[in-house]
């Protein structure tokens, strides 16, 4: 089950100018405008004349609830482009055609969109989409490079994949709108203490194999870990997730290391812990595994019972945390049925966490399979109970705390130096 988008940071309340230029991928920007609006952004869509051949202003007005702008040479257009550009928190052009890239690179002001671009001082994200041969043309490449290197615009894509009239599966496809949403989220996030910080997340369930077809698993969906990873990336962290099996969509901008068993996860974490400053242990690791190594053949039904003996798995967090660099921050989770805060604090001390996210195991709207969670953030000194929130929002609150801990460490270091 997934939650529908609801207004949340960093999109909520922000002003985004969405420029749509005249390519076949323009229809995908309807979804983009819709998602940004549902995330709480005020989306002002500016269509070029060519874009209007593919999509209509009415469609965008329907999904954004705001007037769509097309004409520079109207009383409204002339005044609005100055305001739009000045008030924008981000400008996104998707799709950006070859013609648009050329005009943007030259600093032209021959329509409402290019004019708005000249007025704006906010971050600009251009998402090129065109025929693969056009994209490969040296002049298009030069224009794209100029937009990136000289003008400071971020270019996203194009993706490689089937094109409307492509020669092959060459680069030319518009990046998926959901990924554009994520990148806009990153541009809208102010640089904070996580900027540039290497960060590791463990996520998802583990599987302990009995034979080639059977395993011992658990109900973790991996949603919390992936939400944390993506939110940390938006804040500028360099993120690796080691993840047990999950069918959640991969988080944008993050290196994902896929594995199955607790012992595999332990190896991957051990190999990385010395290079990260923040480690978040969100995985639901199997505490036990079958004592015998998995058989190579499927066990047949033979009329007898099957008794399996279990042995303990390594505690990944407890083993890894001493290897975290000085000044590093470790976050753990605690799924409890009773005495939430006491048990969480005991775990905090025993395993060496700086923060434990405690959540009730037996409550509707919280825990493994729910899209929401009701957590209490437990540190040595305090326990903050949050209301039931979507896991994406819980991730933001956890990272606010992680940033607070990093800042406190930095202050402590500079006080010790002076």
Residues with catalytic function: 218
CB of 32 to ligand C5P, least distance (A): 35
CB of 172 to ligand C5P, least distance (A): 42
Contact assessment for residue 385 and residue 359, using Cβ atoms and an 8 Å cutoff:
no
Contact assessment for residue 261 and residue 207, using Cβ atoms and an 8 Å cutoff:
yes
Q: Which of 283, 340, 375, 402 binds ligand C5P (CB under 6 A)?
A: 283
CB of 332 to ligand C5P, least distance (A): 3
Binding-site size for ligand C5P (CB under 6 A) equals 14
**Is residue 315 close enough to count as binding ligand C5P by CB under 6 A?**
yes
User: Which residues, 146 to 205, sit near ligand C5P by CB under 6 A?
Assistant: 202
Nearer to ligand C5P, 94 or 324 (CB): 324
Cis-peptide, bond into residue 110, ω within 30° of zero = no
CA separation, residue 66 to residues 33, 130, 241 (Å): 11, 28, 39
CB of 263 to ligand C5P, least distance (A): 10
Nearer to ligand C5P, 106 or 337 (CB): 337
Which listed range, 1-9, 65-73, 280-288, 367-375, lies at the site for ligand C5P (CB under 6 A)?
280-288
User: What region, left, alpha or beta, does residue 48 occupy, with left being phi > 0 and alpha being psi -120 to 50 degrees?
Assistant: beta
CB of 312 to ligand C5P, least distance (A): 8
Q: Which of 115, 116, 313, 359 binds ligand C5P (CB under 6 A)?
A: 313
**Is residue 226 close enough to count as binding ligand C5P by CB under 6 A?**
no
Nearer to ligand C5P, 55 or 286 (CB): 286
CB of 237 to ligand C5P, least distance (A): 18
Which listed range, 49-57, 80-88, 93-101, 310-318, lies at the site for ligand C5P (CB under 6 A)?
310-318
Q: What is the 3-state secondary structure (H, E, C) of the chain?
A: CCCCCCCCCCCCCCEEEEEECCCHHHHHHHHHHHHHHHCCCEEEEEECCCHHHCCCHHHHHHHHCCCCECCCCCHHHHHHHHHHHHHCCEEEEEEECHHHHHHHHHCCCCCHHHHHHHHCCCCEEEEECCCHHHHHCHHHHHHHHHHHHCCCCEECCCEECCCCCCCCCCEEECCCHHHHHHHHHHHHCCCCCCCCCEEEEEECECCEECCCCCEECCCCCCHHHHHHHHHHHHCCCEEEEEECCCCCCCCCCCEEEECCCHHHHHHHHHHHHHHCCEEEECCECCCEEECCCCCCCCCCCCCCCCCCCEEECCCHHHHHHHHCCCCCEEEEEEEECCCHHHHHHHHHHHHCCCEEEEEECCCCCCCCCCCEECCEEECCCCEEECCCEEHHHHHHHHHHHHHHHHHHHHHHHHHHHC
Nearer to ligand C5P, 42 or 354 (CB): 354
x-marked contacts with ligand C5P along 12-51 as a string, rule CB under 6 A? ----------------------------------------
User: Which residues, 316 to 345, sit near ligand C5P by CB under 6 A?
Assistant: 316-317, 332-334
Which listed range, 119-127, 162-170, 281-289, 392-400, lies at the site for ligand C5P (CB under 6 A)?
281-289
Nearer to ligand C5P, 70 or 313 (CB): 313
CB of 351 to ligand C5P, least distance (A): 6
**Is residue 91 close enough to count as binding ligand C5P by CB under 6 A?**
no
Nearer to ligand C5P, 11 or 281 (CB): 281
**Is residue 285 close enough to count as binding ligand C5P by CB under 6 A?**
yes
Contact assessment for residue 37 and residue 63, using Cβ atoms and an 8 Å cutoff:
yes
Nearer to ligand C5P, 29 or 206 (CB): 206
**Is residue 355 close enough to count as binding ligand C5P by CB under 6 A?**
no
Q: Which of 345, 347, 374, 391 binds ligand C5P (CB under 6 A)?
A: 347
Q: Note the residues at the interface with ligand C5P (CB under 6 A).
A: 202, 262, 281, 283, 285, 287, 313, 315-317, 332-334, 347
């Amino acid at each position: 089950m997934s939650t529908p988008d609801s207004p949340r940071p960093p999109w909520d309340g922000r002003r985004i100018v969405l420029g749509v230029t005249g390519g076949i991928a323009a229809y995908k920007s309807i979804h983009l405008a819709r998602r940004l609006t549902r995330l709480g952004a005020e989306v002002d869509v500016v269509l070029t004349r060519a874009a209007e051949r593919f999509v209509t202003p009415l469609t965008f007005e329907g999904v954004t609830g705001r007037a769509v702008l097309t004409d520079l040479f109207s009383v409204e257009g002339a005044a609005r482009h100055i305001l739009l550009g000045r008030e924008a928190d981000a400008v996104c052009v998707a799709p950006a055609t070859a013609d648009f890239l050329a005009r943007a690179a030259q600093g032209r002001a021959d329509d409402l969109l290019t004019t708005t671009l000249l007025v704006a001082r906010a971050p600009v994200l251009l998402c090129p989409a065109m025929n693969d041969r056009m994209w490969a043309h040296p002049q298009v490449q030069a224009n794209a490079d100029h937009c990136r290197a000289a003008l400071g615009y971020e270019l996203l894509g194009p993706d490689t994949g089937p094109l409307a009239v492509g020669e092959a599966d060459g680069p030319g496809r518009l990046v998926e709108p959901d990924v554009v949403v994520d990148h806009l989220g990153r541009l809208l996030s102010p640089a904070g203490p996580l900027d540039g910080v290497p960060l590791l997340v463990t996520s998802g369930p583990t599987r302990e194999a009995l034979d080639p077809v059977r395993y011992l698993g658990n109900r973790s969906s991996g949603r919390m870990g992936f939400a944390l990873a993506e939110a940390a990336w938006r804040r500028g962290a360099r993120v690796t997730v080691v993840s047990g099996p999950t069918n959640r969509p991969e988080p944008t901008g993050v290196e994902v290391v896929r594995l199955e068993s607790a012992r595999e996860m332990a190896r991957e974490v051990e190999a990385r812990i010395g290079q990260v400053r923040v480690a978040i242990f969100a995985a639901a690791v199997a505490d036990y595994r079958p004592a015998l190594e998995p058989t190579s053949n499927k066990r047949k039904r033979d009329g007898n019972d099957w008794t399996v003996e279990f042995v303990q798995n390594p505690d990944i967090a407890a083993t890894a945390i001493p290897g975290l660099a000085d000044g590093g921050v470790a976050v753990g989770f605690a799924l409890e049925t009773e005495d939430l805060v006491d048990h969480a604090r005991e775990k905090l001390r025993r395993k060496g966490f700086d923060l434990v996210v405690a959540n009730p195991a037996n409550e509707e709207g919280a825990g493994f399979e729910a899209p929401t969670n009701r957590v209490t953030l437990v540190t040595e000194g305090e326990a903050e109970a949050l209301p039931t929130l979507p896991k994406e929002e819980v991730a933001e609150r956890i990272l606010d705390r992680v940033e607070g801990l990093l800042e406190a460490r930095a202050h402590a270091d500079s006080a010790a130096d002076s």
